[in-house]
Structure 1
Amino acid sequence: MTQPRAKFRAPSPVPLPAWRATALWAVVTLGLVVMMAQAWRAQVERGPFLRDQGALRYLRHFALPAQRGPILDRSGKALALSVPVQTLWVDPRLFDAQQARWAQIATALGISAATLAARVRGGGSQFAFLARQRAPERAAAVLALHVPGLYSLHEDRRYYPSGSIAAPLLGFTNVDGRGIEGLELAYNAWLQGKAGEETGLRDNLGHPLALLGAARPAQAGRTLTLSIDRNIQYVAYTALASAVQRFQARSGAAVLMNARTGEILAMVSYPSFNPNDRADYRPGLYNNRAVADTFEPGSVMKPFTIAAALDDGSIRPDTTFNVNTNCFRVAHYCIRDDVRHDILDLAQVLKYSSNIGAAKISLRTPPADLYQMLRSVGFGQVSGLGLPGETGGAVPGWQGWDVARRAAMAYGYGLSVTPLQLAAAYAAIANNGIYVQPTLLRRDSGTPLHSQRIMPAATAARLRDWLTGVTRRGGTGFLAAIPGYTVAGKTGTSIMANGKGGFRKHQVNTTFVGFAPAKDPQLVMAVVVREPTQGWRYGGVVAAPVFRVTMSAALHRMGVQPDTSAQTWTATTAEHLTADQERRWAEGAGDAAH
């Protein structure tokens, strides 16, 4: 028989040591502490750094272009302003897949398919310009095609309402909105402003998805208000262009300024260019000829010769000169007048533009005194306008003047000047002997930037009186006369040097510089027409009518009242001179040009 099984009993559990539970809780607690420390470090200590690193993976900073400041005339009329445009660009990685639609896109852009392909291939692997600065409506027509990889940027384009009338003065900007010529270059830092920045999201291809706001707003460029009057600028330009075209001249320039404040109301050059059409950008037309072109001025220098001689006592106001000769020989040179006269006083030396009379005056004057007079009125140095390309001309040191140079300097040979310098120098005569620094910025105070007395008021007053004779009957500048106003001025016709010690007989520069009203001068103007080839090539015929037309309009524009003591006769205009009148004028009142 089987024996009963023994009853099984489980072994009694062995009790765990108490330290093991404590160790477990210690490990768990330490882990939590480490995790909390790491969380503290990540969120607090390194939080800003990690957030910035994360943002770099999905946030981008987009440039906010600053709008370029406008350029205004003295009345607030726009001479240059920025208008919104759009630039079309493509991502070649996506755009290449749409080649079947390239012909359609090219047609919408107004270019050939080959040109479009060249632009795409000429860009980078991720970016290529398709069309820069298009009108918004034209860009919208292209974007409406919804071509993958085709995008747009908002930009500004510079627009010049006056076109070619003020182009050499204003200059222009490049396609990126930076000034590269004229006032646009000279005041680029003032006009361009400061670009801003905004933050946004981009996808993995770098395309913008959303904008989160401006991190730094753009600061628009500042407004530049000029002393230029747009209406006077227009009249001066059209009058100058008409003269250059009528006499088939090489070029022309003119400057009209306020004799008391130095404010330049008009500064024109011809030929010019259209700054709104980049196809018309030819380097030969960029020059602001009023400050960049120099020339031997001729007889317009005679008033300063007389001023220097009067001031140092070399002559007296009533001194006369015998000019009754066909040849006044100085060294190896023969000085002549176009019209032979007898005894001339100082007023007549200016009225008839006598080279012989001016030479005799200069030979009585210490050369240092004449040199100092020429330098004090601004010749041989830049004006301070800060315009690109401005030149100071040349006045050689008096120590090197021989007797022939002393005589030639008296009637405008042996030195070079600019139209702006002539206007500023004559403004000193008009302004009672005080030279004022020219400026292109509007002067609300009515006072000049800088002024300096360069001749006694009595000398300036005599010159003003004598220069009125130039524009009266029988004077070389009678075509500059303005009905209702007394006009003072001087003509000049200088034969051009050939670079070999001689002159080009048939190539001349013609000039007229004057101011009005002569009794109380307000405005002064210099006109230079270079190398006229048709008609009577004298400053009184070519340049004086430009002065008359422009000065007349400027006097009315500026509200200058007519002078009750002015001559009442009306000068015959150059446009209506008959051949017989031209012949008699040239024989009886032509500029001395030799």
Structure 2
Amino acid sequence: MNRDAAMPDRHPAMAVLPAWRAAVMMGLVGVGLVAIMVQAWRLQVENAGFLREQGAQRYLRHLPLPAMRGAVLDRNGVPLAISVPVKAVWVDPQLFNHQVTRWPQLAQALELPLPTLERRARGGGAEFAFIARQLPPERAAAVMGLHIPGVYTLTESRRYYPLGAVAAPLLGFTNVDGRGIEGVELAYNQWLRGTPGKETGLQDNRGQALSVVQMGPPAEQGRPLLLSIDRNIQYFAYTALAAAVQQFKAQSGSAVVMNVHTGEVLALVSYPSFNPNNRQDYEPGLYGNRAVADTYEPGSVMKPFTIAAALDDGSIDPNSTFDVNTNCFRVANYCIQDDVRHGVLNLAQVLKYSSNIGAAQISLRTPPADLYHMLRTVGFGQVSGAGLPGEAPGTVPAWQGWSIARRAAMAYGYGISVTPLQLAAAYGAIANDGVYVQPSLQRVNDGTQVQGSRVMPVQVARDLQGWLAGVISRGGTGFLAAIPGYTVAGKTGTSSMADGKGGFYKNRVNTTFVGFAPADHPQLVMAVVVRDPTQGWRFGGVVAAPVFRVTMSAALRLMNVAPDMPAAQWNAQMAKRMTTAQERLWAEGAGDAAQ
């Protein structure tokens, strides 16, 4: 048998591979497996934290949970400032920057210039950038209806002030982040603002929210703040003051109403004011809280404290009289004059007729240290403690530097600067039988005893109460402050405005009235200042006193203070009180534009 013929031919594919080739193949596979294992080690062990963080950046978002700011309430629980829900539109720049072609569409929906939108989108952080804030919910819904990847909304709050301009300088306002900027909002910011929270949310590759995966600390809402302010008294004070400023074409005005016994501030107003719900035209220099921030030389409203200091230290007694029958009472190189020449006046008449000469004579009899002490103890030259930002302390120069001319001038309100709030608190001490109570914006619970400090003897305070009631009588300068059915005590002031150069303007004045009612058992005190009236009568008794009458009349009713004089008796006494000139002014309703 042929051996070669018996063996079939081998196919080329069936040829046996060399052994070294198999070894190479196995080695390559082994190296690949090792590389895969090394890479897996690096990914799952060495770089696990980094990769998880990178993944979270793409699919997780840490979102703030805003805290609702606490409401500001008046003494009866009526809101003066509240927060309402609004929406903010924000973007994830990593997604939103790939939607440039749709930016004009979003800008149109938000009513934003396109450059503004571009600046905000590129000016935020890597994950979060605000585009628009404090939007009405319906507009935010329209934006989300565009379905632009990387665009989201967030619920936040916007501050709303129901009284508008009536309480704006007092309350102040908040910025877009809900932080107090002025007034009560700034003074009590920590109390009102609350603490924001945080949550972590999961989103898909298009940036759409899927679920909340982790709640951080929850938002803690701000606490409500109950003020001593009565919104109705605030309204009456503001409208009366605004009417007087407009009627007499004055520069500005301010007023304070305060409870004599508790120090609670029931109204604190300034005019002109602004709309805190729309602050496009807001200018701090024009619309500040003048009742606490503006100081001025008050004029004759300081005379009761000159008399109180002299009575307290025995320099004069209640029966002292003063010869003012001169056209010029010369002190150093100055000539002190009265508007009308009088003869011999007692203390009641010095106040009733507002005699500068009489007040100067009293001051010159009084040791300057004693007058200085009286002015300081009733609150002048220092902040009141009410806690409002921007409050000015005023000035009471150290008595050691007083010249004889300054001693005389300070007796009738020059050489000293005060605020309307200080005036109200100081007169409150007279009305409170000589006990000074610090002004407060916080409501005092009924029956709570408020601690004060005695600043003058009881008898001195009561004598002053009676003499100040005479200012509202026949021939007195404050007759336009009279309130039907109530006895009233108070004092007028008309002072020349400082020109900033060490002198005074000839034809520019500040007009003031400070008073309390009922005079026989005082409950409320009010200070009114109208600055630089330019039309009509420019006296405190004509410009400022009617603001007191309109406001105090409403306040007494609102605080349930009963009339202390029957209407028939009041009318009869009022007819006897007024001179012919006063009757004419009363009939003409001078200063009554507020009514």
Global fold match (TM > 0.5): yes
Instruction: Tell me the amino acid that sits aligned with residue 567 of structure 1.
Output: W
Q: Secondary structure at the match of 1:412?
A: coil
Instruction: Tell me the amino acid that sits aligned with residue 325 of structure 2.
Output: N
Please list, as runs of the form range in 1=range in 2, the aligned pairs for 1:373-412 lying within 5 A after superposition.
Answer: 373-412=374-413
1:522 aligns with 2:513: no
Please list, as runs of the form range in 1=range in 2, the aligned pairs for 1:16-415 lying within 5 A after superposition.
Answer: 60-95=61-96, 98=99, 101-113=102-114, 115-120=116-121, 122-123=123-124, 127-203=128-204, 208-415=209-416
* Separation (CA, whole Å) in 2 of partners of 1:584 and 1:74: 37
Instruction: Tell me the amino acid that sits aligned with residue 568 of structure 1.
Output: N
Q: Secondary structure at the match of 1:382?
A: coil
Once the 2 structures are TM-superposed, how far is the Cα of residue 117 of structure 1 from its aligned partner?
A: 4.4
Task: Please say which of residues 88-97 and 438-447 is displaced more in the overlay.
Answer: 88-97
Once the 2 structures are TM-superposed, how far is the Cα of residue 500 of structure 1 from its aligned partner?
A: 3.1
Q: 1:297 to 1:315 in 2, by over 3 A?
A: same
- State the partner residue of 2:479: 478
* Separation (CA, whole Å) in 1 of partners of 2:297 and 2:434: 24
- State the partner residue of 2:571: 568
Q: Secondary structure at the match of 1:189?
A: helix
Instruction: Tell me the amino acid that sits aligned with residue 410 of structure 2.
Output: M
Q: 1:88 to 1:62 in 2, by over 3 A?
A: closer
Q: Secondary structure at the match of 2:307?
A: helix
Instruction: Tell me the amino acid that sits aligned with residue 178 of structure 1.
Output: R
Q: 1:50 to 1:187 in 2, by over 3 A?
A: same
Instruction: Tell me the amino acid that sits aligned with residue 85 of structure 1.
Output: V
- State the partner residue of 2:37: none
Deviations 1:30-59 (A, max 9, x none): xxxxxxxxxxxx99xxxxx99998996765
**Paired residues of 1:296 and 1:416 also in contact (CA < 8 A):** yes
* Separation (CA, whole Å) in 1 of partners of 2:288 and 2:233: 20
- State the partner residue of 1:422: 423
Deviations 1:323-349 (A, max 9, x none): 111100000000000111111111110
Q: Secondary structure at the match of 1:389?
A: coil
* Separation (CA, whole Å) in 2 of partners of 1:298 and 1:243: 20
**Paired residues of 1:262 and 1:448 also in contact (CA < 8 A):** no
- State the partner residue of 1:513: 514
Instruction: Tell me the amino acid that sits aligned with residue 472 of structure 1.
Output: S
* Separation (CA, whole Å) in 1 of partners of 2:61 and 2:131: 23
Task: Please say which of residues 498-507 and 242-251 is displaced more in the overlay.
Answer: 498-507
Q: 1:181 to 1:551 in 2, by over 3 A?
A: same
RMSD: 3.0
**Paired residues of 1:439 and 1:449 also in contact (CA < 8 A):** no
* Separation (CA, whole Å) in 2 of partners of 1:114 and 1:245: 44
Q: 1:131 to 1:233 in 2, by over 3 A?
A: same
* Separation (CA, whole Å) in 2 of partners of 1:185 and 1:502: 36
Q: Which stretches in structure 2 are left out of the alignment for 5+ residues?
A: 1-43, 589-595
- State the partner residue of 1:591: none
Q: Secondary structure at the match of 1:84?
A: strand
- State the partner residue of 2:559: 558
Q: Secondary structure at the match of 1:284?
A: coil
Once the 2 structures are TM-superposed, how far is the Cα of residue 413 of structure 1 from its aligned partner?
A: 0.4
Q: Which stretches in structure 1 are left out of the alignment for 5+ residues?
A: 1-41, 44-48, 586-594
Q: Secondary structure at the match of 2:349?
A: helix
Q: Secondary structure at the match of 1:546?
A: helix
* Separation (CA, whole Å) in 1 of partners of 2:401 and 2:88: 60
Q: 1:123 to 1:188 in 2, by over 3 A?
A: same
TM-score (norm 2): 0.84
Task: Please say which of residues 149-158 and 401-410 is displaced more in the overlay.
Answer: 149-158
- State the partner residue of 2:543: 542
**Paired residues of 1:493 and 1:508 also in contact (CA < 8 A):** yes
* Separation (CA, whole Å) in 1 of partners of 2:295 and 2:497: 12
Instruction: Tell me the amino acid that sits aligned with residue 305 of structure 2.
Output: F
Task: Please say which of residues 397-406 and 119-128 is displaced more in the overlay.
Answer: 119-128
Q: 1:253 to 1:570 in 2, by over 3 A?
A: farther
Q: Secondary structure at the match of 1:548?
A: helix
Q: 1:333 to 1:195 in 2, by over 3 A?
A: same
Instruction: Tell me the amino acid that sits aligned with residue 388 of structure 1.
Output: P
Q: Secondary structure at the match of 1:168?
A: helix
Identity %: 69
Once the 2 structures are TM-superposed, how far is the Cα of residue 229 of structure 1 from its aligned partner?
A: 0.2
* Separation (CA, whole Å) in 2 of partners of 1:386 and 1:444: 19
Instruction: Tell me the amino acid that sits aligned with residue 294 of structure 1.
Output: T
**Paired residues of 1:536 and 1:582 also in contact (CA < 8 A):** no
**Paired residues of 2:149 and 2:206 also in contact (CA < 8 A):** no
* Separation (CA, whole Å) in 2 of partners of 1:112 and 1:80: 32
Once the 2 structures are TM-superposed, how far is the Cα of residue 499 of structure 1 from its aligned partner?
A: 3.1
Once the 2 structures are TM-superposed, how far is the Cα of residue 106 of structure 1 from its aligned partner?
A: 3.6
**Paired residues of 2:91 and 2:121 also in contact (CA < 8 A):** yes
- State the partner residue of 2:19: none
Instruction: Tell me the amino acid that sits aligned with residue 250 of structure 1.
Output: Q
Deviations 1:480-503 (A, max 9, x none): 000100000000011012233321
Aligned length: 538
* Separation (CA, whole Å) in 1 of partners of 2:112 and 2:573: 57
Q: 1:198 to 1:102 in 2, by over 3 A?
A: closer
Instruction: Tell me the amino acid that sits aligned with residue 306 of structure 2.
Output: T
* Separation (CA, whole Å) in 1 of partners of 2:234 and 2:586: 33
- State the partner residue of 1:590: none
Deviations 1:571-590 (A, max 9, x none): 79xxxx999946999xxxxx
* Separation (CA, whole Å) in 1 of partners of 2:123 and 2:80: 36
**Paired residues of 2:149 and 2:208 also in contact (CA < 8 A):** no
Task: Please say which of residues 431-440 and 497-506 is displaced more in the overlay.
Answer: 497-506
